[in-house]
């Protein structure tokens, strides 16, 4: 079945890099996504990667995809206190639906 | 563009009451979704609509009904609310092709 797993918590110091990991099971996924949720708000798309790519960089964000191991990661360089949020990994599945992980709560300490 | 809007933002219901959550998007997206978010359980899909006039069940449809009124609007109805439906409800719409989803701000529902 389809399942997306990610660790629940990550804590880093301001200025360090953060790496959030995710594993997925649907090898037919065409796109994989990272969303960010701030307290009291809806999810906001951060970035996505096409399944035939292995890396995508967008300013402080780097996404790495290992299709063989079905592993996706999000690296945030120079993490700031404003990056504190819940980060969701998601894969697209049939009929335009996405399956979401349970989210990783990132805490950035000053 | 307002993006995805949801009303109301907060609601308290008594067990057995009914209500409709409203959602609208102005991005001309074909697909729309309703999710619920509970602590420690991520997002669970309730219903989705791939296009105007079509709706399909998601992972947790029991106790809910939906209406895709037109391309812009997708409503979620609770006919007889139960405490287990206390949750935060999110509506989303998606871009055709990449399926990236845009979310509304959520409705925080408490059923007592």
Q: pLDDT by residue (tens digit) across B22-53?
A: 999 999 999 999 999 998 778 999 999 999 98
| Interchain CB contact of B95 with A (< 8 Å) | no
DSSP B45: E
CB contact under 8 A, B100 and A95: no
Judge whether B23 is closer than 8 Å to chain A, CB to CB: no
Contacts of B98 in chain A (CB under 8 A): 31, 48
B31-37 and B43-49: which strand pairing?
Answer: antiparallel
Q: Do B100 and A45 touch (CB under 8 A)?
A: yes
pLDDT value, residue A97 = 85
Residue B34 in contact with partner chain A when CB distance is under 8 A? no
| CB proximity B94 to A under 8 Å | yes
pLDDT at B68 over 70: yes
Which residue(s) pair with B87 in the sheet? B109
Determine the Cα–Cα distance for residues A99 and B101; give it in Å rounded to an integer.
11
Give percent of chain B above pLDDT 70: 100
Q: What is the predicted pLDDT for the residue at B98?
A: 86
The pLDDT tens digits along chain A (110 residues) read 458 999 999 999 999 999 999 999 887 888 999 999 999 899 999 999 998 889 999 999 999 999 999 999 999 999 999 999 999 999 987 667 889 999 999 999 99
Cis peptide before A90 (omega within 30 of 0): no
User: Going by C-beta distance under 8 Å and a sequence separation of 6 or more, which residues neighbour residue B89?
Assistant: B6, B21, B34, B35, B36, B37, B46, B76, B106, B107, B109
Q: Is the pLDDT assigned to residue B88 strictly greater than 80?
A: yes
Distance from CA of A68 to the nearest CA of B (A): 22
Contact A100 B50 (CB under 8 A): no
């Amino acid at each position: 079945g389809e399942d997306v797993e990610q660790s629940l918590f990550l804590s880093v110091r301001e200025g360090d890099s953060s790496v959030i990991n995710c594993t997925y099971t649907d090898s037919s996924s065409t796109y994989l996504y990272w969303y960010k949720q701030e307290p009291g708000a809806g999810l906001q798309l951060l970035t996505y990667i096409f399944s035939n790519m292995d890396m995508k960089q967008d300013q402080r964000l780097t996404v790495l995809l290992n299709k063989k191991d079905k592993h996706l990661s999000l690296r945030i360089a120079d993490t700031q206190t404003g990056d504190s949020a819940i980060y969701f990994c998601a894969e697209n599945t049939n009929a335009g639906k996405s399956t979401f992980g349970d989210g990783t709560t990132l805490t950035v300490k000053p | 563009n307002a993006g995805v809007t949801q009303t109301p933002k907060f609601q308290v219901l008594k067990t057995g009451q009914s209500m409709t959550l409203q959602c609208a998007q102005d991005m001309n997206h074909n697909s729309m979704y309703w999710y619920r978010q509970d602590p420690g359980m991520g997002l669970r899909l309730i219903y989705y609509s791939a296009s105007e006039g079509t709706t399909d069940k998601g992972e947790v449809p029991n106790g809910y009904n939906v209406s895709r009124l037109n391309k812009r609007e997708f409503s979620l109805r609770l006919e007889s609310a139960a405490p287990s439906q206390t949750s935060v409800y999110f509506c989303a719409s998606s871009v055709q092709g990449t399926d990236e989803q845009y979310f509304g701000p959520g409705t925080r529902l408490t059923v007592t």
